[in-house]
Amino acid sequence: MEYIQKYGGVVIYLQQEGRGIGLANKIAAYALQQTGVDTVDANRMLGFGDDLRQYEPVQYILQDLGIKSIHLMTNNPRKCQQLNKLGIQIESRIPVLAKINKYNSAYLKSKSERMAHIIDRDTFSGNGRQGEKQGTPPQHGTPRRRATAGIQLPWEEVKEHH
């Protein structure tokens, strides 16, 4: 929200808790995760796919607002692909930054390794700060280019420090 306040924009919230499985099932998935199951396997154990979200409403919301292209805040390449399939022009992808800690490291590792989320190394070293180095929109309408190749993340360092 700080980023939107600083640079402007629109937040579109789609009520699709737990990657589309619903709030009650998301809570059941959390219970499984408390036993050591990762986020992907928890959804599968409940009989759901990895990501069931539907993005069709976004195209109509953007049309109603007169928005022709977007700078999308996400680490999820599937979200970019799904929006592109709907004809939504993504000018750039702005990473969502979260400092890794002992509470979220396993979750972020699963997102990166099992769901191909793009997680910047600076996020894990503490250097990434939203709205500055990585989160600033491109100047003069030039699309920002970001590598989508996987990177090796310092998971072992996290375990050693916590």
DSSP string spanning the chain?
Answer: -HHHHHH---------HHHHT-HHHHHHHHHHHTTT--HHHHHHHTT--S-----HHHHHHHHHHT--EEEEE-S-HHHHHHHHHTT-EEEEEEPPP----TTTHHHHHHHHHHH-----HHHHHT---TTSTTTSPPGGGPPPP---S-----HHHHHHH-
| Rounded CA separation 8/3 (Å) | 8
The full set of domain ranges for the chain reads: 2-16+53-161
CB atoms within 10 A of CB 83: 19
The confidence score (pLDDT) of residue 69 equals 94
Q: Considering the candidates 38, 44, 50, 53, report the single residue annotated as catalytic.
A: 53
The confidence score (pLDDT) of residue 161 equals 36
Q: Considering the candidates 50, 51, 122, 144, report the single residue annotated as catalytic.
A: 51
Reply yes or no on whether 53 is catalytic.
yes
| Rounded CA separation 56/36 (Å) | 34
Using only the alpha carbons of the chain, give its radius of gyration. 17
Reply yes or no on whether 51 is catalytic.
yes
The confidence score (pLDDT) of residue 121 equals 58
Q: Tell me the mean pLDDT per 10 residues along the chain, length 162.
A: 88 88 92 93 94 93 95 93 96 89 87 86 48 40 32 36 35
| Rounded CA separation 6/81 (Å) | 27
The confidence score (pLDDT) of residue 83 equals 96
| Rounded CA separation 69/83 (Å) | 11
